[in-house]
Amino acid sequence: MAEKFSLKDHLFNATTVAQLAHEYASGVPGFDPARFQKEALAGFPERELMARLDWLADCAEAQLSSVFPDMADQLEAAMPAPLDPGLKDDDFGQFIHAVPGILAVRHGLEEHRERAMALLYRATQRFSMEFYIRPFLNRWRAETLADLSVWAEDDNYHVRRLVSEGTRPKLPWAKAVTLTPEHTLPLLDRLHGDPTRYVTRSVANHLNDLTKQHPDLVLDTLDGWQGQAAQQAKELDWMTRHALRTLIKQGHAGAMTALGFDADAPVTVDLEIATPKIKIGDTLTFTCVIEAPADLPVLVDYRIGFARPDGKSGEKVFKLKQGQVRPGKPLTLKKAHKLKGDATTFKLYPGAHALTVQVNGVDRATGSFELV
């Protein structure tokens, strides 16, 4: 059996620690790379992914100045070259380069805000400082927002992305920030026309976070951007779809309208489940035939209602198809959905399960199958 992939070991191992040790030794006089490697690797087995980052910072800090401005100078001297500014996406950097952000929060948050922000500015050009800007937003909101307002115009797209990503309301793995849309939307207004997908994806993800509490505000914002024409139409259409993905799964009528789908359109769906009784680990197979009396763009999703041992049920929405229905030409969709028994994020249990097909956000047909 193949060994299970370990993200923490992939990111933090002898090779990456040796790389970091070499960088520090090259930039910081007197830094002992052998000591750093020995201490760091010895502490990894008992620590999970994020704890390993803190441990790397502990090991580096032990050989750096205890005076933060001097420590910041050392951290900057040890930084590798910035990530390629000529790229437009998928250049996140290496997790090992998060150490300056951790130490900026530890030692710069209270007494050295300006020096710490300068360190984050330089560090985010090597690895995103989205986690580490957030304590500064909470502690020094006005001052940090003022800095971000300047960074939104920076030549480096990693710096511009940090403005959006670091202020996201629901940033995964990150601490909460005490910001409102009134604080962040002016920044997004300036970033939505950015020429790099790395930035516009972050803007769209930020808006998707906001839809969970402020759906109408997000729809109004996107509508306003359509009128500004600061972004290419194709890219803004992509951003809109990405920003509204949670609302679309929920069948939100306003989101459907924004994407050109009529929730009230007359449409019928014939659903046939070919596997009404299946085992965990097997494949659920179904077909749905969609008909309409007029030309109609359709967005088709399906929702599975999962049985639970406590008698309750959980639901999950899955994408099926975006297409066109024409009179006399029904749209036939077939799907094979594997119900994995070893999924790490969603455990399956035997029992009656529901399958619902929704078209343009409206439930159109429901069936059931039994998982044994």
Instruction: Tell me the per-residue pLDDT of 47-67, one tens digit each, with 9 for 90 and over.
Output: 999 999 999 999 999 999 999
Which residue shows structure tokens 């070893």?
A: 342
Q: Where are the domains of the chain?
A: 64-258, 268-371
Q: Where are the beta strands (DSSP E) in 36-139?
A: none
Chain centroid to Cα 349, Å, comes to 29
The residues, any chain, with a CB within 8 Å of residue 177's CB and separated by 6 or more, are 134, 137, 138, 167, 169
Amino acid in the structure at residue 135:
P
pLDDT mean across residues, the chain: 94
User: Under DSSP, is residue 98 helix (H, G, I), strand (E, B) or coil?
Assistant: helix
Amino acid in the structure at residue 23:
E
Residue 104 contacts residue 119 (beta carbons within 8 Å): yes
Write out the chain's pLDDT in tens, 372 residues.
Answer: 456 788 999 999 999 999 999 999 999 999 999 999 999 999 999 999 999 999 999 999 999 999 999 999 999 999 999 998 888 777 889 999 999 999 999 999 999 999 999 999 999 999 999 999 999 999 999 999 999 999 999 999 999 999 999 999 999 989 999 999 999 999 999 999 999 999 999 999 999 999 999 999 999 999 999 999 899 999 999 999 999 999 988 889 899 999 999 988 899 999 999 999 999 999 999 999 999 999 999 999 999 999 888 777 788 899 999 999 999 999 999 999 999 877 766 788 899 999 999 999 899 999 999 998
The model's pTM is 0.85
Does 268-371 match 64-258 at the fold level? no
CATH (residue range 268-371): 2.60.40.10
Domain 64-258's class? Answer: mainly alpha
The residues, any chain, with a CB within 8 Å of residue 323's CB and separated by 6 or more, are 297, 298, 300, 331, 333
User: Under DSSP, is residue 355 helix (H, G, I), strand (E, B) or coil?
Assistant: strand
